[in-house]
Amino acid sequence: MTSSEIRRQFLDFFRSKQHLIVPSAPLVAKNDPTLMFNNSGMAQFKDFFLGNGTPPAKRVADTQKCLRVSGKHNDLEDVGFDTYHHTMFEMLGNWSFGDYFKKEALEWSWELLTEVFKLPKDRIYVSVFKGDEADGVPFDQESWNIWKGIVGDESRIILGNKKDNFWEMGATGPCGPCSEIHIDLRSAEEVAKQSGRDLVNADHPQVVEIWNNVFMQFNRKADGSLEELPARHVDTGMGFERLCMAIQGKQSNYDTDVFSGTIGLIEELSGRTYTGQMEKSDVAMRVIADHIRAVSFAIGDGLVPSNAKAGYVIRRILRRAIRYGYSYLGFTEPFMCKLVPHLANQFADVFPELTAQQEFVATVIREEEIAFLRTLGTGLTRLDQIIEQLGTDKTIPGETVFELNDTFGFPADLTALIAREKGLQIDEASFETALQAQKQRSRKDASYSAGDWIELQDVDKVEFVGYDNTETYAQVVKYRRV
């Protein structure tokens, strides 16, 4: 089954259960000061759960373009290194606004996965919220009973904690237990050796979470206590690319037809072969195949790369991909822009906004590439001079690394990579000091560049959105996600 068919079957299934199919909201969150990008299917329906406004129907389903690169959900550092977290991905979802509840939601999810998509029942695990006494939230016995009725075998039901199995919008407001569905895609041999049950939520690349069913059941009051909501809601989200991996029998999202066309093109343009392993060129191809989607869809939704806020995040994602291409695939000329027509064509049936904007998108990306490749070139020349001046000294001062970044926009981890290749090292302590000083200076600024990535003034906290997790400069990653 192709990915287009899988998406269509999902929507057809919920249409047959009287759901109204609605379009995806744009990637860039509109009119929501608490959110920079849409990062889940429910974001565009938030008001309905809060009792403001009326939903278009009591039952709704869609595929939502999501971006998880900032705030509470930031998967950027995993991209390229694992095979199932993307920056931009599609979240398939169905909703009940005060209509059906746990029984229908869980039974339909099982029916869709095992009868329509024919996923093997003995490879599916489900999780149920086990309760949290300290927090006053009870065990979700109701969902447990429903699952017991559906799957029979209790060993397939896992009790989960608050982190994985309880959802809340904020400190106060709607909240409730969730029930997740995980699938074990390992070989029969591996399964015989170790039960998939032990690998659920353990970051195993072949035992992955595919679907989350959230049941909004309580209202958290200001004093911390819970009251039952008068109208109960269902909010579900399923990772489309992961679902395709499961149905198409692949070991990685990148091996599905969602990504294989783009990867094929990158192979052609670079003259290298994708081996699906952890080689630098493999990581680079995954990063590029992932990031081109995030950037293209964001620009297609009206967000151009810039030096501020959301536009800056997009610029940084694009630059991260360019740098991988430059460092590990030998690209010195614009290449990302050449992938756009393929994406536009691939998603024409579901996201025509990209198809309509494709020339504009490719042009914007191309201009960014030209500018950043020039930056890389200038930085390299300057770095060569610096290294020459070092003489017999084997350590590049941290201030110099910082200045290269600050003045020339030359990424610190790239400096580290080059230094290492030349048998040199970087004075990390002084780099750190320079970075801290810069941090102080730009504290009042809402967003600022620190090496490869960006610091965002989020709703409630400042966070460093991450250096590259490459082997090159992991040492300087002092500010991790919070």
- Tell me the window of 189-197, 234-242, 410-418, 451-459 that interacts with ligand ATP (CB under 6 A): 234-242
Q: Output 140 or 368, the one with its CB closest to ligand ATP.
A: 140
113 and 181 Cβ atoms separated by less than 8 Å = yes
- Tell me the window of 206-214, 308-316, 426-434, 467-475 that interacts with ligand ATP (CB under 6 A): 206-214
Choose among 162, 165, 146: nearest CA to 154. Answer: 146
**115-123 CB contacts, 8 Å cutoff, 24+ apart:** 116/9, 116/13, 117/1, 117/6, 117/9, 117/243, 117/246, 117/247, 118/247, 119/183, 119/246, 119/247, 121/151, 123/183, 123/184, 123/185, 123/191, 123/196
418 and 383 Cβ atoms separated by less than 8 Å = yes
What minimum distance in Å lies between the beta carbon of 161 and Mg ion? 11
Q: Output 40 or 472, the one with its CB closest to ligand ATP.
A: 40
Instruction: Give the three-class secondary structure for 397.
Output: coil
Longest Cα–Cα distance in the chain: 74
Q: With CB cut-offs between 5 and 8 Å by kind, which of ligand ATP, Mg ion, none does residue 211 bind?
A: ligand ATP
Residue with tokens 């969902």: 143
Q: With CB cut-offs between 5 and 8 Å by kind, which of Mg ion, ligand ATP, none does residue 210 bind?
A: ligand ATP
Q: Does 182 bind ligand ATP (CB under 6 A)?
A: no
CA distance 372 to 381: 14
The H or E element containing residue 151 is helix 141-151
Q: With CB cut-offs between 5 and 8 Å by kind, which of ligand ATP, Mg ion, none does residue 182 bind?
A: none
438 and 454 Cβ atoms separated by less than 8 Å = no
- Tell me the window of 16-24, 128-136, 239-247, 413-421 that interacts with ligand ATP (CB under 6 A): 239-247
Q: Does 237 bind ligand ATP (CB under 6 A)?
A: yes
What minimum distance in Å lies between the beta carbon of 433 and ligand ATP? 34
169: buried, middle or exposed (CB in 10 Å: 19+, 13-18, 0-12)? middle
Q: Output 75 or 368, the one with its CB closest to Mg ion.
A: 75
What minimum distance in Å lies between the beta carbon of 241 and ligand ATP? 6
Binding mask 24-63 for ligand ATP (x = CB under 6 A): ----------------x-----------------------
286 and 334 Cβ atoms separated by less than 8 Å = no
Distances (CA, A) of 300 to 24, 103, 364: 13, 39, 10
What minimum distance in Å lies between the beta carbon of 481 and ligand ATP? 12
Q: Does 212 bind ligand ATP (CB under 6 A)?
A: yes
* Count of helix runs (H) and strand runs (E) in the chain: 15, 16
Q: Does 89 bind ligand ATP (CB under 6 A)?
A: yes
Q: Does 186 bind ligand ATP (CB under 6 A)?
A: no
What minimum distance in Å lies between the beta carbon of 203 and ligand ATP? 8
Selected binder of ligand ATP within 19, 86, 291, 338 (CB under 6 A): 86
Instruction: Point out which residues bind ligand ATP (CB under 6 A).
Output: 40, 68, 75, 85-86, 89, 91, 209-212, 237-239, 241-242
